[in-house]
Amino acid sequence: MGFTRLPPLTVLDLIGTDAAKILNNLCSAAILNLVSGEGVEAFVTDVRGRTLGHVCVFVFGDRLRLIGAAGQAEQIASHVDRYTIREDVRCQDRSGEWLGVLVDAETLCQVATVVDPEPLVSAAEHVKLVWRPLAPTPAWPNPSGSEMAEQVLAYRVPWTASTPLLLAGPAEAVREWAPAGSAVDWSDDPVVFHRERVTNRFPWYGIDLDDRNLPQEADRDALAISFTKGCYLGQETVARLDALGQVQKKLVRWQIEAAPQPPVGTELRADDRIVGRLTTINAGESPGTWEALGFARRSHFDAGAEATWEVEGVPAARAVVLPGPLRLG
């Protein structure tokens, strides 16, 4: 598959002896259970249980590293600062300095060896996220061996099914590991990434989710929400919703049969009611079809549920809910 360049990312480090404690109090995942080298998907929540951020959290010896869609660092850092009194934690935003590329395991083996022998990719249906340092292979002339190149790490992320590994670090160093125009296939088009994440039904914060959403509406409960970790900000809302089982909308994959591309924000209707809204739309496998990520009401949670895209009150296309993600992360 080669390398796929990502759109800009949020990369926020929480540094200090109390970093894990503070973040554990502000997010849906069980951070305190993790050791250095491990990671977990998490929602950062406010007092109402709304989603202030959606990130992958990776544990280092002296810090936590939060990686996710661009534009989240300032809001999360402000949130952490607000709930820090005397604890030892500070935020370092590295988003503007860093570049990320996705790579499949086969390509990674061509350019680097993982220093830690524990596998980055597992055949298990669901494993914890991890990060590992890299070393160049003898056959690969890059990187130069500079100190900066050593800052590029491999992270296992749940964003896509076909390219589950993220190489991220200072932009110049990442380009040494994954040079455009090299013998390895390279895609510089972020559309490729968004198409693959939609197929894997992974939401991108700021596009599919924002601070108006509850965590369960992303339908990532098994991967990003711990219902046993104890109290955290917004936990009461999340726990109540789980107990009642009454989430009113959630993200699903839609297939739309239409010649023109539906615009983002397109509403889908059934029985004279709005039952869906599209947030990310990509070209489908067949001409004239589109695959989208979007919200569905409870009546349309299940695969095979149908709705209609109407233009000026006239049916323009049929929309069908597709099966869930190809893998669990």
Q: Which of 131, 166, 199 finishes a domain?
A: 199
> Do 176 and 265 belong together in one domain?
no
Q: Is residue 222 in a domain? A: no
What CATH number is attached to the domain comprising 313? 2.40.30.110
Name the residue range of residue 159's domain.
99-199
pLDDT of the chain, 329 residues: tens digit per residue: 678 889 999 999 999 999 999 999 999 999 999 999 999 999 999 999 999 999 999 999 999 999 999 999 999 999 999 999 999 999 999 999 999 999 888 888 777 777 665 656 554 444 578 888 887 665 554 555 556 556 889 999 999 987 788 999 998 888 877 665 555 666 778 888 999 999 999 999 999 999 999 999 999 999 999 999 999 999 999 999 999 888 999 999 999 997 789 999 999 999 999 999 999 999 988 888 999 999 999 999 999 999 999 888 888 899 999 997 644 44
Cβ–Cβ under 8 Å, residues 2 and 105: no
Structural contact between residues 217 and 38, judged by C-beta atoms closer than 8 angstroms: no
Residue 191 phi, psi dihedral angles, 5° rounding: -60, -35
Residue 278 lies in a domain: yes
Query: Which amino acid is residue 329, in one-letter code?
Result: G
| 114 & 194 share domain | yes
Of the three residues 129, 164, 199, the one that is the final residue of a domain is 199
Domain boundary among 141, 167, 199: 199
Please give the radius of gyration of the chain, using alpha carbons only, rounded to the nearest integer: 20
Helix, strand, or coil (residue 226): coil
Query: CB of 79 within 8 A of CB of 46?
Result: yes
Closest to 121 in 3D by CA, of 157, 151, 152? 157
- Please tell me the distance from the alpha carbon of residue 284 to that of residue 291, in angstroms, as a whole number: 5
Residue 327 lies in a domain: yes
Do residues 253 and 317 both lie within one domain? yes
Same domain as 252, residue 194: no
Question: How many domains does the structure of the chain reveal?
Answer: 2
